[in-house]
């Protein structure tokens, strides 16, 4: 989509959206700068991913080097206590410099309160103030709540499907599964991102799309030979819980979504969005990614 605001207006509006999101979530967002701040955030990530304090997703010494080099890191504080954190580092491609958002975590007891959204809004405002118009990150396509958050709540695009992107992972969330990921690309000045920040982004109509992947009565994935202008691919209700209760079924979902969603993207379909009911909707005539 085309930019609808000039850079100054866009930066001011993003800062206002970030402040409003933090107020609605009941948190204060602040840069993570001191070593104590970074240790606290590293510990939070270890707790969220179930790795233990000595095996954090982001060790304090690496965290220190990343922030010292001028990269982005912020924490969400509720009554002075750190309850969420996010970190991203700069990257470069043919379009120029962008921010890659590597990790975001919110304490389990504070989830569902829009803290993650407040952190992403702050990240967007920081990037625009720094002259950066694009943020990327990866996410597990099987995690329904993350897909809806990234594609609908934030208005990012899913542009590529990567098989086993991180290789074997040992944390409490991903252990025992392959690390397939979708690449999210957030064009910060697009009308889609602006509408999402204001809560006005419509969900795609999954019911109008041909079913490429569904589930039978027992929750087993079932692929169909679907074609047409738009497709839909189902996701399990809770893949994290399914990995623990039925690893074999979780793996069937992994391979089924890889074949259908990943295969459709390779065949030229674009991810148009994600319905709250759990469907990816793909289109051959979607917006540019």
pTM above 0.75, yes or no: yes
Q: Which tokens is 219 given?
A: 């929750």
Greater model confidence, 287 or 218: 218
State how far Cα 15 lies from the chain centre. Answer: 20
User: What's residue 289's pLDDT?
Assistant: 39
Q: What is the pLDDT of residue 174?
A: 58
pLDDT score recorded for residue 173: 63
Structure tokens at 38: 């970074």
Q: What is the pLDDT of residues 157-205, one digit of tens each?
A: 999 999 999 887 665 565 567 889 999 999 999 988 888 877 778 888 8
Q: Which of 41, 43, 47 minimizes the C-alpha distance to 88?
A: 41
Q: How far is CA 186 from CA 19, 34, 128, 233, 259, in A?
A: 19, 29, 12, 22, 25
Domains of the chain are 7-197 (3.40.630.30), 206-283 (no CATH)
Alpha-carbon dihedral of residues 62, 92, 118, 58, nearest 10 degrees?
A: -20
Phi, psi of 143 (to 5 degrees): -85, 100
73 near 63, Cβ under 8 Å? yes
Return the H-helix or E-strand segment holding 109.
none
pLDDT, one tens digit per residue, over 5-29 is 688 899 999 999 999 999 999 999 9
User: How far is Cα 186 from Cα 199, in angstroms, rounded to an integer?
Assistant: 16
């Amino acid at each position: 989509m085309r930019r609808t605001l000039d850079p100054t207006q866009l930066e001011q509006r993003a800062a206002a959206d970030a402040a409003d999101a933090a107020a609605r979530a009941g948190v204060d967002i602040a840069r993570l700068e001191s070593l104590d701040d970074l240790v606290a955030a590293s510990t939070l990530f270890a707790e969220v991913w179930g790795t233990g304090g000595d095996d954090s997703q982001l060790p304090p010494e690496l965290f220190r080097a990343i922030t010292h080099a001028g990269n982005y890191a912020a924490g969400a504080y509720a009554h002075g206590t750190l309850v969420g954190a996010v970190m991203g580092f700069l990257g470069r491609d043919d379009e120029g410099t962008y921010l890659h958002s590597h990790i975001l975590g919110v304490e389990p007891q504070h989830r569902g309160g829009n803290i993650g959204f407040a952190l992403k809004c702050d990240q967007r405002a920081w990037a625009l103030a720094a002259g950066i118009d694009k943020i990327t990150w990866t996410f597990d396509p099987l995690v329904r709540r993350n897909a809806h958050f990234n594609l609908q709540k934030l208005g990012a695009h899913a542009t590529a499907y990567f098989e086993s992107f991180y290789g074997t992972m040992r944390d409490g969330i991903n252990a025992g599964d392959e690390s397939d990921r979708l690449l999210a690309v957030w064009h910060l000045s697009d009308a889609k991102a602006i509408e999402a920040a204001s809560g006005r982004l419509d969900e795609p109509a999954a019911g109008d799309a041909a079913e490429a992947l569904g589930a039978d009565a027992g929750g087993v994935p079932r692929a169909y030979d679907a074609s047409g202008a738009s497709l839909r691919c189902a996701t399990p209700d809770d893949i994290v819980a399914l990995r623990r209760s039925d690893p074999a079924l979780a793996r069937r979902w992994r391979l089924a979504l890889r074949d259908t969603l990943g295969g459709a993207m390779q065949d030229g379909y674009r991810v148009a969005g994600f319905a709250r009911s759990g469907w990816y909707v793909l289109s051959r005539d979607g917006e540019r990614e």
